[in-house]
Copies of this chain bind each other. A is one copy, B any other.
Amino acid sequence: MEKYLKLLSESKIFEGVKEEEILKMLNCLSFKIRSYKKGEYIFLIGDKISSAAIVLEGTVHIQKEDYWGNLSILNEMSEGDIFGEAYSASLSGMAENNAVAVKECVILYLNLEKILTVCSSLCDHHNTLIKNIYRTISAKNLFLTQKIGYLSQRTTREKLFSYLSDQSVKAKSATFTIPFNRQQLADFLAVDRSAMCSELSKMQKDGIISYSKNTFTLKEI
């Protein structure tokens, strides 16, 4: 427990709340902490979800496999991100995607409905928590909308370019590192890996970008 308190205090959810306060708050909320091994499923499509999951450590992919086995990574959650919160608030309450630990993960489960019911000013920092959760979910919204922007591009080159441009802007540098390997990037952009690789080569040949491994540089045109 103690070893996770530091993690919690560093997470976006508990930003601005001191460790001793977090402990008090957790006691007034339903919570559970569990760790997962690399590759392990956190939940599966159809699972009943009653609480939100917060990534304390590691990385989680929200993904879906279609009938023919094509994998789509719908979203990547990393430290401080909330996932599954939408299912717990939905009518059916059932997961519509799989959540998989892509590396060793530590997940905190919280009953958000309980959090949102402000408990007679029992904890001073309840408000902070609500604001933090709101910001996190909003940020996720923004991310999803951005991703839709990439996927809405017609060609692989346009998809790559819009994604890489955004990463460059986010890094405030023409050179930046992305958190995906080639297969993951292809899944994220919903294109074929080998086709994407060859498109990357072409873009490099055309002098639009240069790259090595996961580090890319956008060129002036």
Number of A interface residues, CB 8 Å?
A: 47
Q: Chain B residues near A102: list those with CB within 8 A.
A: none
Q: Are B154 and A151 in contact (CB under 8 A)?
A: no
Give how many copies assemble into the complex.
2
Q: Are A139 and B190 in contact (CB under 8 A)?
A: no
Listed by A's residue number, 11 A-B pairs whose Cβ atoms lie within 8 Å are A62-B145, A72-B148, A74-B152, A113-B131, A116-B127, A118-B127, A121-B121, A140-B141, A147-B148, A151-B152, A154-B192
Chain A residues numbered 41-94 whose CB sits less than 8 Å from any CB in chain B: 62, 64, 66, 70, 72, 74-75, 85-87, 89-90
Where the two chains meet, the residues of A that have a C-beta atom closer than 8 Å to any C-beta of B are 62, 64, 66, 70, 72, 74-75, 85-87, 89-90, 96-97, 112-113, 116-118, 121, 126-127, 130-131, 133-135, 137-142, 144-149, 151-154, 158, 162, 190, 192
